[in-house]
A and B are shown apart, each in its own frame.
Chain A
Amino acid sequence: DGGITQSPKYLFRKEGQNVTLSCEQNLNHDAMYWYRQDPGQGLRLIYYSQIVNDFQKGDIAEGYSVSREKKESFPLTVTSAQKNPTAFYLCASTKWGAEDTQYFGPGTRLTVL
């Protein structure tokens, strides 16, 4: 089955620690995205990548970092510089340039203790 997987589903972190969220897709999609969603709010773009070894900042990139070493994988690191990291994090992917939509993974809920 093709799809997008995110792990873990729930993640707890102590203040001052970095944590990495995993996102993998086997849809052969070119572009991948990371969004943050706060309770009762919409989705805000953190980073996105159109091709391997290249990525761009979204609207709220401060305190986050990403890598795109493989087409299938786009991990997100939430660093200690992120002031308020508790949120629901969603990964998405799409075929770049095609008239297609973004498909989302199941999400990771991060809580800072």
Chain B
Amino acid sequence: QQPVQSPQAVILREGEDAVINCSSSKALYSVHWYRQKHGEAPVFLMILLKGGEQKGHDKISASFNEKKQQSSLYLTASQLSYSGTYFCGTEPQAAGNKLTFGGGTRVLVKP
């Protein structure tokens, strides 16, 4: 079953923060976050593993709440380059690298 992402879209001014959520009805082993620009392939941002720590890259970080089967992606002090569609890919227990992707969250950062 497909994970649910929220919100579906968000518009930010440069420098503002945003949170994107990804919820699953299944127990999860890992959550993978990607960003996709229009017409291009998804680019890997980070992976969160069950029992692992919160990850971060530059001003983008993520957390994984195993009890709620939910992951959140935090965009801090957003930059114009953060615009795109963000997807979470979830891997249930013992699925072996087989991901199910959410419907995506469109992010537009304006000057």
* Interface residue ranges, A against B (CB under 8 Å): 31, 35, 40-45, 48, 50, 88, 90, 94, 96-107, 109
Contacts and interface: CB of A to CB of B under 8 A. Distances in A.
Nearest to A98: B97
Contacts of B18: none
B92 interface: no
A53 B81 CA distance: 41
Contacts of B41: 90, 104-107
Q: What's the interface size class on B, roughly?
A: 20 to 34
A42 B97 contact: no
Contacts of B97: 31, 94, 96-98, 100, 102
Contacts of A50: 96
Top-4 shortest CB links A-B: A104-B41, A43-B101, A42-B101, A42-B103
Nearest to B32: A101
